[in-house]
Amino acid sequence: MRTCIIKNNVPNPVSLVTRHSDYETIYHRLGHISNEAMRHISDNVEGTEKICFPNKKHICRSCALGKLHQCSFPKNSKRSSETLGLIHSDLLELSTLSYSKYKWVITFLDDYFSYCRVAFLHKRSDAAKAIKAVFWLWSNTTSYSVKCLYTDNREEYMTSELQFFLHEQGIVHETSMPYVHQQNS
């Protein structure tokens, strides 16, 4: 085991204890640093041997996976064939309180016409009340009624009060997979 001192202008120098000086070990112990940063180690650390870089380009599986981009979800070709046939809903937390002290916004998007309506909420738990109010408004002001509600699996959409209301009105409640917001259109 050998101790190396990192050269710097601070009163208490940092020591680096290592048993190995091979590329793989140093690469992993220093947090998957770039080859350019590794080249500077021998210049800035006392007592280190020159690091031998591999002949072919080193590709770390963890680093490669970390740099991958998530593929976009394919567009859903299935659309609602009638007004209010499918409503997408989501909840958004505002970063600051509004002037009227609202902290949350719930959105409703009609899949057929892309008509959007929002309601402002003081608390997240007010979501069921807002959904009931918007759905009653639509059923009383139009000749259509909501057939299907599509939401994520958040707890405010899964309350027994809301589930009872949806069942009573004959509205089907479909949910996306947890933490896959792309499914909620």
For the stretch 47-94, pLDDT in tens is: 667 777 777 777 788 888 877 776 666 666 677 888 889 999 999 999
Q: Please list, in sequence order, all residues whose beta carbon lies within 8 angstroms of the beta carbon of residue 2, skipping any fewer than 6 positions away.
A: 17, 18, 19, 47
Pair 3, 47: CB distance under 8 Å: yes
Q: Please tell me the total number of residues recorded for the chain in this structure.
A: 185
Task: Indicate if 94 and 179 belong to the same structural domain.
Answer: yes
pLDDT, residue 41, reads 74
HSE-up (13 A, CA, CB side) for residue 129: 8
Residue 56 lies in a domain: yes
Task: Indicate if 43 and 93 belong to the same structural domain.
Answer: no
Residue range of the domain that includes 98: 87-184
pLDDT, residue 169, reads 92
Task: Indicate if 34 and 120 belong to the same structural domain.
Answer: no
Query: From CA 159, how far away is CA 109, in angstroms rounded?
Result: 21
**Selected residue with higher pLDDT from 21 and 95:** 95
Task: Indicate if 7 and 51 belong to the same structural domain.
Answer: yes
The number of folded domains in the chain is 2
Task: Indicate if 103 and 150 belong to the same structural domain.
Answer: yes
**DSSP assignment string, 118-174:** EEEESSGGGHHHHHHHHHHHHHHHSS----EEEE-S-GGGS-HHHHHHHHHHT-EEE
Confidence of residue 160 (pLDDT cuts 50, 70, 90): very high
pLDDT surpassing 80 at residue 7: no
pLDDT, residue 47, reads 67
The pair of three-digit structure tokens given for residue 161, joined into one six-digit string: 């009060």
**Selected residue with higher pLDDT from 178 and 52:** 52
Task: Indicate if 60 and 92 belong to the same structural domain.
Answer: no
CATH number for position 167: 3.30.420.10
Task: Indicate if 57 and 113 belong to the same structural domain.
Answer: no
**Selected residue with higher pLDDT from 88 and 18:** 88
Pair 185, 150: CB distance under 8 Å: yes
Task: Indicate if 131 and 169 belong to the same structural domain.
Answer: yes
pLDDT tens digit string along 19-56?
A: 566 777 777 777 888 878 777 777 777 666 777 777 77
pLDDT, residue 106, reads 94
Give the global pTM. Answer: 0.59
Task: Indicate if 99 and 39 belong to the same structural domain.
Answer: no
Query: From CA 32, how far away is CA 16, in angstroms rounded?
Result: 16
pLDDT surpassing 90 at residue 107: yes
Task: Indicate if 34 and 98 belong to the same structural domain.
Answer: no
Task: Indicate if 92 and 171 belong to the same structural domain.
Answer: yes
**Selected residue with higher pLDDT from 9 and 119:** 119
**Selected residue with higher pLDDT from 72 and 108:** 108
